[in-house]
Structure 1
Amino acid sequence: MSAGAGGETPTRRPGLGVPRLVGRDGDLSLLDHGLDERPGLVVVAGEAGIGKTRLLDELLRRRPETALVAQCPPFREPYTLGPVVDGVRRLAENVAGLPLTGLAGALRPLFPEWAGQLPPAPEPLPDAGAARHRLLRALVELVDALGVRLFVVEDAHWADETTLELLLFLRSRRDRGPRLLLTYRPEDVPPRSLLRRMVAQADVTRLEPAPLDTAGTADLVSSMLGGEPVSVEFAAFLRRHTDGLPLAIEESVRLLHARADLVCEDGSWLRRDVAELEVPPSIRDAVLERTSRLGPAAGAVLSALAVLEGERPPALVAEVAGLPTDAAEAGLVEAVAAGLLHEHGDARVGFRHVLAARSVYHALGALERGRLHRRAGEALEREPVRRVADLARHFREARDPERWAVYAEQAADHASASGDPRTAFGLLLDLLVGGAVRGAAVSRLVLRMPLYAAPGDGELRRIVGALRESAAGGLTREERAEATWQLARLMFHVGDVEEASVEMERALPGLVEDRPAAAVHAMLMLARPLGTAHPAAHHRAWLERAGRLVEAPPGPSPEEWLAFLVDRASTLLVLGDPAGWAAARELPVGGRTPGEVLQRARGLANLGEAAMLWGRYDEARRQLDAAAALAQEHQHLRLRDLVGATLAHLDWLTGHWSRTRAWHAPALDASEPVLRADASLLAGLLDAARGDHRGARERIGSAGAAGRLRGPADGTRDPAAVRARLAQAAGDPAETLAATDAAWQLVEAKGLWLWAAEIAPLRVRALLEEGRAREAAAAAAAFAEGTRALDAPAATVAHRLTAALLARADGDLLGAAGLFAQAGAAWTALPRPYDALLAREAAAGCRLAAGERDRAAGELREVFAELTALGADGDADRVRRTLAGAGVRVGGRAGRPGYGDRLSPRELDVVRLLVEGRTSAQIARVLGLSPRTVEKHVHSAMRKREAPSRTALAVAAVESGDVPPPRSGPGIAPRAG
């Protein structure tokens, strides 16, 4: 249509304004109520373009309190605490006169421009977790001193891990700090982000703005058109093709305006030829078409801002765009008028929506992107406060490896100092795989990498590839020795122990001459009897060589000496040498330096694990509890978490299954692969005891794939041994033998028969069931001879079990019953109650087969009751069936009756996860149940606790002590007490 004369109604094109907030009065009231009257966190969740930022802007405009707003930009490498730092800078020009303690000195790396106003920097801490904790406490002190009453994090799905930990820290203070409000996109939250745990808790006020309906769409468009009405047909059309997403509506209207397709007829705004022309299917198309209609200067500043990311001052935009100041300002004015950019109160400009920024960025050609990134990096180098992570990104995209490496290493140092080793690892890994460092610099960079922060073996294997390529290049003798040493060290980490040993022996001559401390470390790694078929004497020889070298002049530092003593004691014990106990008793107590404290804690943890291998569970608990306490006191958080995993397994062995369940459920979502693997293993063991063998096999399979390689030296934590146990319970001797073949061959080659304590009874029984009695007798004899001189309770009980199995196979049923009973008594004394009950069941089974029905029935009744009380429902069911076959009744299916008003073990599992804020679907995934079964357990628990709702059930369960309260901080805490 066009404007006409005569009888036609004239048409005119509209002028467009910024839309007002429509349809959100109820949302604003809910937010006000949540901030003023309810405790806990307030979150606004929704997809991109739903209007979270617009809603937040309106809320902040209405509220009187001091607010700190941390805006998280979509940086490819999140800048550690960058959003919070920027928010503080926007809030305060300086910190002079604020009531800060000496703790605030830890903030100097974050605010170098305030160095003269902050207290002196404190002494560095050796542990990344401790450094992070101190930095967070200092930030909280600064926030309090600034009088912040509302702490806002916008686009929290892009927040770095340390910023999220700061939020957890603030949450744990309850009423002593500012209220917390954050916005985020649920679909963009990484799977293992701390944000998921934070927003899932019970005291969260959650708002999810809904898409606009047709009336709301009409109101939004009308607000862009000076308040004039729009046709119902046009509003319905927009609603239908944008799903009511405010951003999509706004961008579509602007596109229609740019095409001159939006006109006013008969006093109502509508669109030309609605039936023929559709709104573009994506916002990107709309944005790019709009930018194509702008002048060259506007296009240049949009490209510059897309590369810079975030909000920037006009002068910087002009420099990156390569425009004179007046031309850049004119381009910015045009882009602001077009609704693509908006101005901030601090004289900065930025894209109104990140989707628009990404659309412009991805439309740039590779050469143009590189050119703009170089300009951005060079301009930002001249800034008084350098954001080194930003500089690293720009010079990486500009293909300037030298400057990329300089700034990436600085950014990694900053992340490590802030207690964020994962970001540091990622920055340095990018340098390696991106080819920014070569030759001898590769091994130097690897030496700096926090390898323990690697998300998995895949990343470590990429480093192995880079080191292998470096070691093959033109290096000096010293450089090649260093590169080979680092290569071997990484190969040990990823489980390539055989090849790593070869590489390490190649590196040793150069290390002995140039770096004796590293040579001692290498020898101690070669002394570890893991992953190779070398006999025990081979490893002992390396241990003795390390001892001679560490005592040679000039001698080790106190920390190096303690590390050697710790490794020597634990290595002797893993070698099955009782001298390791004497070496453990001779370890010095305490430590003067942080490094010595760390070695002491590590030593206690290693000795605790060795004691578990020997079957000395009381000793293991003393060592592990001491290690956990020391790690917690000195904030060695990763070591604390690993010790917590070992204690959880010890709890399973010793019958404290409720503590095991309390640990493993949250650990299944841990970011540390080793913790996830241990949690999967424990979940599989618990599932098997309940009778869910299919679920148990899946759990054990994932345990073997998720964590570090484990083997027979890990005893009950070896996934292969657990698979053999499951196969035997399923009556599959062939699978039992297949699962134990590799471990048995390794034990024979090394002569380390202590390692066979878990698999010897399984293997002997499987051989007997396969009709290979001679091999079974030979295996039992070799195991007995190899452990005869050891005071190892686990091996002693295993020997009795193999003897009982042989006696039963020979037809000596009563003799076998006596040996099974002795094994059960020995397991009880350790204590290891679950295996004691299985041994007692076997003894009673022999007596039943020998005709001692009454005595066997009495023993089986006791075993049934104790298995039921322990939570081993599947095993108790098997005993019930045995009794039923003998004509003895013991009630219904195990585990179901008898709880009364008490929550069953499975109900406790469900309620514990419910308290953590999990949905039924999430609980079902963790526990391997169907959502319907989870709901049945929830309703049963609600009935027992007389709770009218899930929230009331969670509160009642915590108040009654049924389950612990939800954790408020990061990490997997060790079992206490």
Structure 2
Amino acid sequence: MSAVESGGAPARRPDLAVPRLVGRDRDLALLDQVLDERPGLVVVAGEAGIGKTRLLHELLGRRRETALIAVCPPFREPYTLGPVVDAVRRLADRVAGLPLTGLAGALRPVFPEWADQLPPAPGPLPDAASARHRLLRALVELIDALGVGLLVVEDAHWADETTLELLLFLRARRERGPRLVLTHRPEDVRPESLLRRLVAQTGVTRVEPRPLDTAGTADLVSSMLGGEPVSVEFAEFLHGHTDGLPLAIEESVRLLYDRADLVCENGAWLRRDVEELDVPPSIRDAVLERTSRLGPTAGAVLAALAVLEGERAPALVAEIAGIPVQEAENGLVEALAGGLLYEERDARVGFRHVLAARSVYHALGAIQRSRLHRRAGEALEREPVRGVAELARHFREAGDPRRWAAYAEQAADHAISSGDPRTAFGLLLDLLTGGAVRGAAVPRLVRRMPLYAAPGDGPLRELVAVLRETAAGELTPEERTETTWQLARLMFHVGDVEAASVEMEQAVPGLLQHRPAAAVHAMMMLARPVGTARPAAHHRAWLEHAARLIETRPGPSPEERLAFLMDRAATLLVLGDPAGWAAAHDLLVEGETPGEVLQRARGFANLGEAAMLWGRYDDARRRLEAAAALAEEHRHLRLRDLVGATLAHLDWLTGDWAAPTQWGPLALDADEPVLRADALLLAGLFDAARGDHRRAQERVRAAIEVGRPRGPADGSRDPSAVLARLAIAAGRPGEALAATDAAWRLVEAKGLWLWASEIAPLRVRALLEDGCVGEAVHAAEDFAAGTRDLDAPVATAARRLTAALLARAGGDLTGAAGLFEEAGAAWAALPRPYDALLAREAAAGCHLAVGERDRAVGLLREVFGDLTALGATEDADRVRRTLADEGVRAGARSGRPGYGDQLSPRELDVVRLLVEGRTSAQIARVLGLSPRTVEKHVHSAMRKRQAPSRTALAVAAVESGDVLLPGSVPHPPTSTGWPPVTVREFPG
């Protein structure tokens, strides 16, 4: 029934227009102000349909600078830098004549159509991170040369990681280059996305458009109706059904228009029977009802556009729709008039909103979708510049595995060469799990995959399943060997080392025949003494097999030989064999080819970690810093970050707690699982030292879930040791035993007692507190016998600590006090000041118990001050309470009281070494303190002696008799021991 006006005349049909921007004046003013006044990043965030894109286009229409507008499509696998590359193509049709350097040659693979206008391509780089960094620098140079003043990225939640890295790179330039504006939907940002880090930086301006109120709803509808008024009743009804979402309001009005439900009465537009108005509950339903009212030609072009995505030329739309161009243009005109599409200046058309495009796409039947994707793929194959990622998507959806695989592999190659291994991994994973490749092609693809880019173990386990299925099929002997080898590699990666070793041993004979280099690799993996209960001799045998093979097989490259020698030295050390030190010392590491540099950096990193296992922290730091320097210089960014995580843990151990706290929070959301796990573990250690044991346990358990499995071979980074410490601190020895059971059994089975250095004191203490004295003695004896002949400082300190624990449990408190002080001195010599301080606290407890109050109080005062300076607030509080029980006021946490204007014993120790000409770093090593703690003592002494400088302090100390000059009669020692302990433990 048609509507009529109250006087009986036919109702007037409105001429619908695109709505004007409503209710965004303040947002626009803020955006203009921020972009005019300061560099930085502007983020427009909000749900789908809130009007982010419309706000952005209104902003761009008001500004005069050159804008580069990149729109991120909602592909399942984003293509590397695709949004920015497409935006550059739209902005410029050529680059000849631009002020570009030779660096721009790196852009040739990205812009093949400009190959003759760009400088020659530079040489290859050794790793993906270096290639990515060079490509980003080249792209930034091009953006600068084009005079871009504003870089806009729409729908950044769909951006690939390399595009987000580009934004981070531009953001770091601050005053140089374009200002940045991006839109995104917070709820659609992946947890591991770099976008989270980008928008969380300081100096980011965040604009969040809000839903419209009833008045705003009326204004928006009025703007669609030529500015004529809208009844309050109608506005309230629409607002109630759309929650003020601009896109939902617009689509509802257009649907009412299509139904002829809008009428004009007494000069106001309304729906006569508002209570009967039927508005679909979602934008999708509204869009689909509207498209159903269009003619078949308009429906065909909309379907073609939905499959293509983005803005497209009418001729291409016609080809995909399978209709003549003129007919397609008529359908596009109808869809444009209905407000579903918009038209670019170059006559390309696209959906006004991605929600409309996705609504149309998902409404297509499977057969129709497949047919349209095939047409799209075949049409785009003829384009002069092929978008291989897009072609892979179309042929995947078309059910054409051959062409899907071909283009996906090309897209993966492009992603790797662009330094985007995560996208490459995803593309190849999709091929393998989607069944596009079978048989021998499966291990070939797995071999090419950048496994380190996997987002966790889940995808790797999917690959294991694919390889198992492949291995069960028909393969030649050589193909079966390769499949088994790749399967074993993947199983090692996911931590299924026991089963992986079985598979790998089966692959070795075949690899020896066909791929001797891979055979060496397999043997070295079998030589790693982790993850299995096999004795050390088993792994040593594989190491010797690999050594014979590397010497006898013809033609190992210098890179392969260097990798083997580095790995051999590190493996010997992890096996607890001192020969590893000689092997490391004899290494010739002068190779300068990209591959040799990578092996040097990797080798130094592994040797540094092995040195940490032994407790040789100076050696560990020297090698790790060498690895970090090489990785930074040659842009091995992933290796640099992994080494940084190890150095951060070394900082924790050696008492420089400021460095790890600066590093840790940044990596808690790292993309690399190992980095994130190490950050969580380190954060858990800090939480425990500060007394937040619940949070510490949560973080340590999260580290176990996130990262590769760690165990006793990882030394102080074994999460089970940290959990045991927390359990002992909470008075739950049974829990501590449960936490260390698996690690202890592994050490016993392998006979690698060096690995027990972290857990032996914990286990002995837990056994004693659980009443298992005989078992505690047996565990201590086994550990002592297994490590006594090793020059491993960490094992020496742990042996002394276990002896102290046994003595204390046996009632020999005087002997226990001396042993705790010896343990403290051993820990301090590494240095591990936190562990040293806790051992000294335990010694003081024994002194108190035998009536040596003055000695205990002096020791506790020192321990209190050093724990406070270190940042171990909970432990300092415990010591303060012990002193208070003895009637001694330790003072607030801010310092060490009790000496007035006199130098404390520890301050005298520091000043004495200062007079000898030692630096703060050297004093820290001698006293087992952190450099930060040394500086605290120096400044305190300067204040007490009213010395304006360190030199003046040294002079004042000598003149006052506090310190004798070197060569004079020695001053009697003022401190009773060195700082000490491996655990947050052992209070008296």
Compute the TM-score of the two structures, normalised by the length of structure 2.
0.89
Output the CA distance in 2 between the equivalents of 1:771 and 1:75. 62
Preserved CA contact (<8 Å) 1:3 1:9: no
1:405, 1:431 → 2: CA distance? 6
Q: Which stretch shifts more, 275-284 or 436-445?
A: 275-284
Matched, 1:801 2:811: no
**C-alpha spacing 1:895/1:481, structure 2 compared with 1 (3 Å):** farther
From the superposition, tell whether residues 799 and 7 of structure 1 become closer, same or farther in structure 2 (CA, over 3 Å): closer
Cα distance, 1:879 vs structure 2:
2.0
Q: Which residue of 1 aligns with 2:364?
A: 364
Distance 1:359 1:111 in 2: 33
CA RMSD, Structure 1 to Structure 2 (Å):
1.7
- Amino acid aligned to 1:688: A
- 1:395 equivalent to 2:429? Answer no
Indicate conservation of the 8 Å contact 1:874/1:894, yes or no.
Answer: no
Answering whether residue 782 of structure 2 is matched by residue 788 of structure 1, we say no
Alpha-carbon shift at residue 197 of structure 1 (Å) = 2.0
Alpha-carbon distance between aligned partners in 1 of 2:439 and 2:28, rounded to the nearest angstrom? 59
Are the aligned partners of 1:685 and 1:696 in contact in 2 as well (CA < 8 Å)?
yes
Higher mean alpha-carbon deviation, 189-198 vs 885-894, is at 885-894
Tell me the residue number matched to 1:481. Answer: 481
Counterpart residue number, 1:910:
none
Question: Residue 873 of structure 1 contacts residue 894 of structure 1 at CA under 8 Å; is this kept in 2?
Answer: no
In the TM superposition, residue 243 of structure 1 has moved relative to its aligned partner by 2.0
CA-CA distance at 1:586 after TM superposition: 1.5
What secondary structure is seen at the aligned counterpart in 2 of 1:608?
helix
CA distance, structure 2, for counterparts of residue 221 and residue 774 of structure 1: 85
Question: Quick one: which amino acid aligns to residue 216 of structure 1?
Answer: G
Matches within 5 A, 1:938-953: none
Q: 1:251 to 1:788 in 2, by over 3 A?
A: same
1:425 is displaced (CA, Å) by 0.4
Structure 2 CA distance for aligned equivalents of residues 319 and 18 of structure 1: 29
SS at match of 2:182: strand
1:651-695 Cα shifts (integer Å, max 9, x gaps): 110111111111111111111111111111111111111111111
Partner of 1:159: 159
* Aligned counterpart, 2:72: 72
Q: Distance in 1 between matches of 2:741 and 2:700?
A: 18
Query: Are the equivalent residues in 2 in contact too, given 1:75–1:309 (CA < 8 A)?
Result: no
Tell me how far apart the structure 1 counterparts of residues 171 and 29 of structure 2 sit (CA, whole Å). Answer: 23
How far 1:614 sits from its partner (Å)? 0.3
What's the counterpart of residue 544 of structure 1?
A: 544
**1:352-397 C-alpha deviation (Å, 9 max, x unpaired):** 1111011111111122211211111111111111111111111111
1:698-777 alignment runs, 5 A limit: 698-777=698-777
Aligned partners of 1:123 and 1:648: how far apart in 2?
Answer: 34
CA distance in 2, matches of 1:119, 1:59: 36
State the 1:8 CA deviation: 4.4
- Match in the other structure for 1:197: 197
Distance across 2 between alignment mates of 1:228 and 1:600: 75
User: Aligned pairs, how many?
Assistant: 898
Deviation at 1:626, TM superposition (A): 0.9
SS in 2 for 1:623: helix
Q: Which amino acid aligns with 2:449?
A: M
1:502 partner letter: V
State the match for 2:98 in structure 1: 98
CA gap of 1:68–1:788, structure 2 versus 1, over 3 A, is same
Deviations 1:672-726 (A, max 9, x none): 1111111111111111111111111111111111100111110110011111111
Alignment match, 2:257: 257
Counterparts of 1:505 and 1:169 in 2: how far apart (Å)? 45
Q: Which amino acid aligns with 1:816?
A: A
User: Contact (CA 8 Å) 1:392, 1:404: kept in 2 or not?
Assistant: yes
Tell me if structure 2 keeps the 8 A contact 1:150–1:178.
Answer: yes
Kept after mapping to 2: 8 A contact 1:9/1:265: no
Distance 2:292 2:600 in 1: 65
Is the CA contact 2:271–2:277 (under 8 Å) kept in the aligned structure 1? no
- CA positional deviation for 1:24: 2.8
Q: What secondary structure, in the 3-state scheme, does the structure 1 residue paired with 2:635 have?
A: coil
1:4, distance to aligned residue in structure 2 (A): 5.6
User: Would the alpha carbon gap of residues 894 and 693 (structure 1) be closer, same or farther in structure 2, given more than 3 Å must change?
Assistant: farther
User: In the TM superposition, what is the alpha-carbon distance from 1:886 to its structure 2 partner?
Assistant: 3.7
Q: Between the two proteins, what is the percent identity of the paired residues? A: 81
Which residue of structure 1 lines up, in the alignment, with residue 448 of structure 2? 448
Question: How far apart are residue 222 of structure 1 and its match?
Answer: 1.7
Distance across 1 between alignment mates of 2:194 and 2:96:
34
Paired residue for 2:965?
A: none
Q: Given the superposition, is the C-alpha separation of residues 748 and 689 from structure 1 closer, same or farther in structure 2, using an over 3 Å criterion?
A: same
- 1:383 and 2:383 aligned: yes
1:881 deviation in Å? 3.0
Alignment of 1:782-931 (within 5 A): 782-891=782-891
Structure 2 contact 890–897 (Cα < 8 Å) conserved:
no
Q: Match for residue 465 of structure 1?
A: 465
1:551 aligned counterpart, secondary structure: helix
Q: Provide, for residues 296-328 of structure 1, a one-character-per-residue CA deviation record: whole Å limited to 9, x for no partner.
A: 111111111111111111111111111122221
Residue 9 of structure 1, CA deviation: 6.2
Q: How far off is 1:234 after superposition?
A: 1.4
Distance 1:800 1:262, change over 3 A: same
CA–CA distance in 1 between the matches of 2:22 and 2:697?
Answer: 54
Partner of 1:218: 218
- Aligned CA distance change for structure 1 residues 712 and 18 (closer, same or farther; 3 Å): same
1:559 paired to 2:559: yes
Instruction: Look up the match of 1:663.
Output: 663
Larger Rg: 2
Counterparts of 2:699 and 2:676, CA distance in 1: 10
Deviation string for 1:543-589 (max 9, x for gaps)? Answer: 11100000113131010000000100000000011110111111223
Partner SS, residue 890 of structure 1: coil
Letter in 1 for 2:638: R
Q: Secondary structure of 2:280's match?
A: coil
Query: Are the aligned partners of 1:9 and 1:266 in contact in 2 as well (CA < 8 Å)?
Result: no
CA contact (8 A) 2:614 2:792 kept: yes
Question: Structure 2 regions of 5+ residues with no counterpart?
Answer: 899-988
- SS of 1:176's equivalent in the other structure is coil
- AA in 2 matched with 1:662: Q
Q: Hey, what's the Cα distance between the residues in 2 that align with 1:224 and 1:586?
A: 81
Aligned to 1:414: 414
Cα drift, residue 201 of structure 1: 2.5
Equivalent position of 2:492 in the other structure: 492
Q: Is the counterpart of residue 89 in structure 1 residue 89 in structure 2?
A: yes
- Residue 177 of structure 2 corresponds to 177
CA drift of 1:260 comes to: 0.8
Alignment of 1:505-544 (within 5 A): 505-544=505-544
Paired position in structure 2 for 1:122: 122
Secondary structure in structure 1 of the residue aligned to 2:215:
helix
Residue aligning to 1:43: 43
Compute the displacement of 1:878 (Å): 2.2
Q: Deviations over 1:114-146 (max 9, x none)?
A: 111111111111211110000011111111111
Q: Cα offset for 1:179?
A: 1.6
Cα separation, 2, equivalents of 1:869 and 1:5: 84
The CA distance in 2 between the partners of 1:745 and 1:7, in whole Å, is 95
For the 8 Å contact 1:70–1:154, the answer to whether it is kept is yes
AA of the residue aligned to 2:45: A
> Is the CA contact (8 Å cut-off) linking 1:84 and 1:163 kept in structure 2?
yes
8 Å contact kept, 1:536–1:751: yes
Once residues 893 and 171 of structure 1 are traced to their aligned partners in structure 2, the CA distance between those partners, rounded to angstroms, is 40
Q: 1:484 to 1:4 in 2, by over 3 A?
A: closer
Distance in 2, Cα, partners of 1:133 & 1:147: 21
Larger CA deviation: 182-191 vs 680-689 = 182-191
Q: Secondary structure at the match of 2:275?
A: coil
Counterpart secondary structure, 1:174 = coil
Give the drift of 1:807. Answer: 1.5
Q: Which residue of 1 aligns with 2:596?
A: 596
Partner of 1:931: none
Q: Is the 8 A contact 1:873 1:895 kept in 2?
A: no
Contact 1:306–1:360, Cα closer than 8 Å, also in 2: yes
- The amino acid that maps onto 1:487 is L
Match of 1:902 in 2: none
Q: Does 184-193 or 862-871 show the bigger shift?
A: 184-193
Q: Distance in 1 between matches of 2:43 and 2:744?
A: 55
C-alpha displacement of 1:287? 0.3
Matched residue SS, 2:279: coil
Indicate the larger mover: 622-631 or 241-250.
Answer: 241-250
**1:145 alignment counterpart:** 145
Q: 2:573 — aligned with what?
A: 573
Moved more, 311-320 or 210-219: 210-219
